[in-house]
Amino acid sequence: MDIVAAPSRSSRIRSGIMTSVTGGRPFSQYLELIRELAITQFKLKYTGSLLGYVWSLAKPLMMFGIMYFVFARLLKIGAGVQDFPLQLLLAIVLYTFFSEATSGSVSAIVSNGGLIQRASFPRSVLIIATSMTALMTFLINTSLIIIIAAAGGAIHLGLRSLWAIPLLLELYVIIIGASLILSSLFVFYRDVGHIWEVISLIIMYASAIMYPVTYISHLHHFGTILSLNPILQIIEDMRHALITPTVPWTASITGHLFFVPYLLSVLLLVVGIFVFSKMSPHFAENV
């Protein structure tokens, strides 16, 4: 006779928690929903265009070309900085990921109003799916950087490069936190979309994308305050981890305040979860 071991108490508890969170449906079902939504959104993004997925590569390259010509060639920003063109390209790709994910999430709830009114599922699925769509583009762009850097011998990897993983996780935490807030507010206040466009531009210029962070480090207290920007911290530390160790860690600029960007990232996620959970029960009647 075969004896089937009874599930442990801990596994039953975990199963019960997951059942209550997902409304009695297996969590894997929502993972599949997220995957399908993300892939569908990615395909629709390029439907009808002649270049199709090539735009995933073309847009950051065109943005890089313009910024490099204006800031590096005309204004001589980054002159004498090791591998500055590659640093600029990496920063553009990272910011594009943040910008596309958050901008796409603004209308993620409203644009799926029919789905929300007809089906029962966690509304956060729509936000995560949107971020996964942007992640696909990010992975394509990152592959482009690796190919270009490897071909030019301009990539300098080492043990410090392992920091890229937690830095990407930090960036994703920021994206999800901001996306939850933006998508919730947009259901009730449509001006949020226009406001976020302006804020995104401010973040871009304040995040040391087109200039090395050493340009602001001599500004003393003001430079330290700018360096507390989590997006700047991620971009600059990613440059150090993946491009060249001559780029300083942002902790060397922020000093004893090095923990603030990480704290702000987590705080943004907590606020996002709180706002979304409070507003989501009223989505269906307002979309």
| pLDDT of amino acid 154 | 67
Give the pLDDT of residue 176.
96
Residues in the chain where the model's pLDDT stays below 70: 1-28, 50-52, 152-154, 217, 219-220
What is the distance of C-alpha 234 from the center of its chain? 11
- Residue-wise pLDDT for 69-122, tens only, equals 998 888 888 777 888 888 899 999 999 999 999 999 999 999 888 888 887 788
pLDDT confidence of residue 188: 94
Task: For 89-117, give one letter per residue: b (16+ CB within 10 A) or e.
Answer: bbbbbbbbbbbbbbbbbbbbbbbbeeebe
How is the chain split into domains, by residue range?
28-279
Q: Spell out the residues 6+ positions from residue 92 whose beta carbon is closer than 8 angstroms to its own.
A: 60, 63, 64, 67, 209
Phi-psi region of 10 (alpha: psi -120 to 50; beta: other; left: phi over 0): alpha
Residue 2, pLDDT score = 43
**In the prediction, which pLDDT does 47 show?**
76
At 277 the pLDDT is 93
pLDDT at 139: 87
> How far is residue 243 from each of residues 14, 17, 31, 87, 235, measured CA to CA in Å?
42, 43, 34, 7, 11
